[in-house]
Amino acid sequence: MDKHNGTMINERSKEEQLASFRKEHDGTRLTTNQAVPVSHTDDSLKAGSRGPTLMEDFHFREKMMHFDHERIPERVVHARGFGAHGYFQVYEPMTEFTRAKFLQDASKKTPVFVRFSTVVGSRGSADTVRDVRGFATKFYTEEGNYDLVANNIPIFFIQDAIKFPDVVHAIKPEPHNEMPQASAAHDTFWDFVVNTPELAHMIMWLLSDRAIPRSYRMMEGFGVNTFRFVNAEGKARFVKFHWKPMLGVHSLVWDESQKLAGKDPDYHRRDLWDAINKGDFPEYELGVQILEEEDEFKFDFDILDATKFWPEELIPVKLIGKMTLSRNVDNFFAETEQVAFHAGHVVPGIDFSNDPLLQGRLFSYLDTQLIRLGGPNFHEIPINQPVAHVHNNQRDGYHRMSIDHGRVSYFPNSLQGNTPQPDAENGYIHYAEKVDGRKVRERSESFKDFYSQATLFWNSMSIAEKQHIVDAFHFEVGGVMDKQIRQRVVDMFNNVDGQLAIQIAQGIGATPPANPGGTGVKTSSPAVSQENTPKSARTRKVAILADNGFNFNEVTQVMETLKRAGVHCEVISKYQGMLTSVDGRQLEANQNYFTAGSIMYDAVYVAGGRQCVDTLLKQGDALHFVNEAFKHAKAIGATNEGVDLIASSQLQGVPTAGTQTQAQLVNELGVVTIRNAADMGYFSQKFIEAIAQHRHWIRQKQKEMVPA
Ligand code: HDE
């Protein structure tokens, strides 16, 4: 292996010894950490069976000592996360733009480890809270590790890293009572917002659907900061990094997110874990926006300002490769918890810009690992180890794993042939940017337009997306006790858009602006609206409501067609276990109404069968299931007698297939129903199309039909 400067030289023979030892003991024998076999582990060593425990019980003390120290400090931000392994492949050589080796050869697979996360909540908080999501990728390249430490929102709260502790303190639970957990809906955060106008744009994104993703598999990733690509000739260009999910960008609705936080706080990690186990490997294309240095000042925003994005309509995203997540972790702690990302882990060909947020990050990530991972040797933890060899003169420190050989730990030296030696040709060379300026604590004037892109984002939203943002303001600012702060939120967002400010005021008992304002920006960026994202039913989950007496042929035909489209089904009934169909055949109910809820599925299907539907009609839970799915704008399907359940739910007024004898399909507002169809294929096809739509916002326009 020879991983660390030949320090693991004996590793192979040690591995062999271990293998034969394990074989001998079949890996089942209990030992202490010193490998001493343990004879009994259920009782501590006592002076008599009712007597005091003895100090000499080394097995007890070792076991307890280890347990007492099992926790390490959680990350100060991004504490709750979930990781997976995979690989990345570039589509074609990127030689023109960068010398990075992992971006040269389309046949090469570079291993990656990705950790998704929320930002604000503690490690045990719920997955589906409203928050920015982290999307950090470690590429184990042949030239060392490259970390793309990204978020699912393309901009950030603040412009200069020196304000990071402030924004994090403001949004974290308030210090006197440690409330609220994983939420921005409280006074200190909004107090900070109204006093920090540079946050306006980020707040628009945070209150949009982006902050409540349906799945980690359906999220974009953004490097946020401006980096540089540098090619072998030393030519540099500015670059922004993007991850584009092949399944498109999709979100939950707020009511659903809140309910999921109780019903399944692990919703996102379970979704990722299950998808990978099923072979539905999440895929993301890597995109880059490349800007020539001479174009740096061509835009009405500063390209070094992390509170601005580069509209794709102005600077197109070039898709350069694909990442596939194909393997779950073996151990959450060893891998997901101990992985250490750093925005400064770059490889030759990728360089930094003077973005003041990025510059601060370059300090913070290394620094935080010292406390979190207990010292400077965290690169030796298996998940952090590069696949490339490490050779240097760094030595010792807490938790040093490698055994450094020899007496030379300095450079230059004669005793070891002056090794390890810098490599002038292949080594990392910092881009020789010319920098000239006075030392000042100042913000560039070009950073001071806080509202134009907030308006641009607002203009880019669909009617439904706008409504969700207004609703989110009502929730978040409605949770603020200080009425002055509420009013100041209205005043601040009047700078973004007058109509928005009026609508915010309406929900939170504040006074609407006397002079509705705005920036006057009329343009939009269609690429940021989720309406324009790829739509597919693949990997979606459908709940099938059924009970005894269901129509076996109907259900199985629908299930088979859905399966062929890559859709997963679960049967839900009052009781888990075997259901018997009208003709005596059996189907397993995978979930009951306690273990499952409509919030955990993308769509609902109600099967036919007189006895089955008569039973469902008497079950409040079945009716609630359908009503709730409708309220959350999800696809609903029903066939034959199953249509009666839809008609009897609170969805009266939604057209459904009537009682005609002729086969008739009705497809209204994402509710697909059919009666008397000999072949269920046509129904299934329409139902799949409705699932692929993800949500049917058209129902919002029909509010009178939506159950309260
Ligand atoms: Fe981070 N950030 N951050 N951040 N960040 C951390 O590092 C920091 C920023 C991001 O899954 C910490 O190991 C500063 C932007 C992700 O392990 C810490 C600033 C973006 C993760 C830190 C920022 C990110 C972190 C906490 C300047 C998107 C989770 C624990 C204001 C591009 C990585 C840790 C994982 C984690 C500092 C801003 C992404 C404290 C000073 C912008 C995805 O070092």
Q: Give the Å distance between the CA of 184 and the centre of ligand 1.
A: 18
User: 354: which residues sit within 8 A by CB, 6+ positions away?
Assistant: 304, 433, 435
Q: Which of 542, 543, 558, 546 is nearest to 616 (CA)?
A: 546
- Atom number of ligand 1 nearest to Cα 116: 11
Structure tokens at 127: 């997955």
Tell me whether residue 250 is one of the annotated catalytic residues.
no
Assigned CATH topology for domain 537-692:
Rossmann fold (3.40.50)
Angle at 397 between CA 396 and CA 401, to 5 degrees: 65
- Atom number of ligand 1 nearest to Cα 363: 41
Q: Whose CA is nearest to atom 38 of ligand 1?
A: 361
Q: Whose CA is nearest to atom 27 of ligand 1?
A: 161
Report pLDDT digits (tens) over 163-194: 999 999 999 999 999 999 999 999 999 999 99
Structure confidence at residue 90 (pLDDT): 98
Cα–Cα dist 10/150, whole Å: 39
Report pLDDT digits (tens) over 429-442: 999 999 999 999 99
Structure confidence at residue 25 (pLDDT): 59
Q: Give the Å distance between the CA of 77 and the centre of ligand 1.
A: 7
Pocket mutation for ligand 1, best pick of 137, 201, 364, 366 (most atoms within 8 Å of C-beta): 364
| Cβ atoms 161, 361 nearer than 8 A | yes
Give the pLDDT mean for 386-397.
96
Q: Give the Å distance between the CA of 161 and the centre of ligand 1.
A: 11
Report pLDDT digits (tens) over 87-106: 999 999 999 999 999 999 99
Structure confidence at residue 51 (pLDDT): 96
Pocket mutation for ligand 1, best pick of 75, 224, 226 (most atoms within 8 Å of C-beta): 75
Is pLDDT above 90 for 1?
Answer: no
pLDDT band at residue 321 using 50, 70 and 90 as cut-offs:
very high
CA distances (Å), origin 262, targets 511, 540, 592, 600, 625: 35, 21, 17, 12, 17
Percentage of residues in the chain having pLDDT higher than 70: 95
pLDDT band at residue 9 using 50, 70 and 90 as cut-offs:
very low
Q: Whose CA is nearest to atom 44 of ligand 1?
A: 365
Structure confidence at residue 700 (pLDDT): 73
Q: Does domain 81-373 have CATH number 1.10.1040.10?
A: no
- Atom number of ligand 1 nearest to Cα 76: 26
Q: Which of 59, 78, 268, 632 is catalytic?
A: 78
Is pLDDT above 60 for 11?
Answer: no
Tell me whether residue 151 is one of the annotated catalytic residues.
yes
Ligand 1 binding site (Cβ under 6 Å of any ligand atom): 75-78, 81, 115, 117, 134, 136, 149-151, 156, 161, 164, 223-225, 306, 339, 341, 357, 360-361, 364-365, 368
| Cβ atoms 463, 505 nearer than 8 A | no
* pTM exceeds 0.85 for this model: yes
Q: Are strands 541-545 and 603-606 parallel, antiparallel or unpaired?
A: parallel
Give the pLDDT mean for 452-458.
98
Strands (E), 313-456: 318-328, 350-352
CATH topology agreement for domains 81-373 and 451-531: no
Report pLDDT digits (tens) over 635-653: 999 999 999 999 888 776 7
Q: Which of 681, 600, 685, 670 is nearest to 635 (CA)?
A: 670
Report pLDDT digits (tens) over 115-153: 999 999 999 999 999 999 999 999 999 999 999 999 999
Percentage of residues in the chain having pLDDT higher than 90: 90
Q: Which residues of 54-79 are buried (b: 16+ CB within 10 A; e: fewer)?
A: eeeeebbeebeeeeeeeeeebbebbb
Q: Whose CA is nearest to atom 32 of ligand 1?
A: 150
DSSP class of residue 539 equals T
Give the pLDDT mean for 251-269.
98
Domain boundaries, the chain: 81-373, 451-531, 537-692
Structure tokens at 614: 């008569």
Give the pLDDT mean for 687-694.
98
pLDDT band at residue 679 using 50, 70 and 90 as cut-offs:
confident
pLDDT band at residue 701 using 50, 70 and 90 as cut-offs:
low
Cα–Cα dist 669/279, whole Å: 32
Average pLDDT, the chain: 94
Q: Which of 336, 416, 361 is nearest to 226 (CA)?
A: 361
Q: Whose CA is nearest to atom 41 of ligand 1?
A: 361
Assigned CATH topology for domain 451-531:
Hemocyanin, N-terminal domain (1.20.1370)
**Weakest-pLDDT range from 254-268, 316-330, 462-476, 640-654:** 640-654
Pocket mutation for ligand 1, best pick of 151, 153, 163, 361 (most atoms within 8 Å of C-beta): 361
| Cβ atoms 555, 641 nearer than 8 A | no
Cα–Cα dist 311/289, whole Å: 10
pLDDT band at residue 16 using 50, 70 and 90 as cut-offs:
confident
Structure tokens at 370: 């010292």
294 phi, psi to nearest 5 deg: -70, -10
Task: Report the residue count for the chain.
Answer: 708
Q: Are strands 221-222 and 227-230 parallel, antiparallel or unpaired?
A: unpaired
Q: Which amino acid belongs to residue 183?
A: S
Q: Give the Å distance between the CA of 307 and the centre of ligand 1.
A: 15
